[in-house]
């Protein structure tokens, strides 16, 4: 079992995962195209790109993964498996394909903003490693 947190804001994105080999973290800034998208899109896009990276490098393959995020709408769309927005539907589809191809059992969990701050992933954007 692996545990992680993903978070996105208008300016950037961050994630952290506790693995048997230590903590993995990612942070970055959005380009102009992503910056103008909805918060739901940014949260799901961050989740997809983070999982793609860690599945391709072998870190998250063939495992049960618990990912927490502070966007309840994005979590609900993933659990429902659908969205009326084409962009969001495509991200959900990517997540489902990552599960199958990477051998993941993905559990997406909504947490509060306060819990995200207490855990520390939120502080990555301020350089708090």
Which tens digit of pLDDT belongs to each residue from 25-69? 888 888 988 888 898 999 999 999 999 998 998 888 888 999 999
Give the pLDDT mean for 101-123: 85
Higher pLDDT, 6 or 124: 6
Separation between Cα atoms, residue 28 and residue 25, nearest integer Å: 10
CATH of the domain at 91: 3.30.420.10
Percent of the chain with pLDDT over 70: 94
- Which range of residues forms the domain containing residue 84? 2-126
The pTM of the full predicted model, rounded to 2 decimals, is 0.88
Domain tally, the chain: 1
Query: Can you give the pLDDT at residue 86?
Result: 95
- Residue-wise pLDDT for 4-23, tens only, equals 999 988 888 989 998 888 88
pLDDT at residue 125 is higher than 60: no
Query: Can you give the pLDDT at residue 43?
Result: 92
- Residue-wise pLDDT for 78-103, tens only, equals 999 999 999 999 999 999 999 999 99
């Amino acid at each position: 079992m692996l545990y992680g947190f993903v978070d996105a804001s208008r300016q950037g994105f961050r994630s952290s995962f506790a693995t048997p080999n230590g903590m993995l973290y990612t942070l970055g800034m959005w380009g102009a195209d992503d910056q103008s998208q909805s918060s739901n899109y940014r949260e799901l896009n961050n989740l997809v790109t983070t999982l793609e990276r860690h599945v391709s490098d072998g870190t998250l393959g063939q495992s049960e993964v618990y990912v927490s995020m502070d966007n309840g709408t994005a979590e609900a769309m993933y659990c429902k498996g659908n969205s009326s927005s084409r962009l969001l539907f495509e991200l959900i589809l990517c997540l489902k394909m990552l599960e199958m191809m990477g051998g993941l059992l993905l559990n997406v969990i909504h947490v509060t903003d306060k819990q995200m701050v207490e855990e520390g992933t939120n502080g990555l954007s301020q350089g708090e490693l």
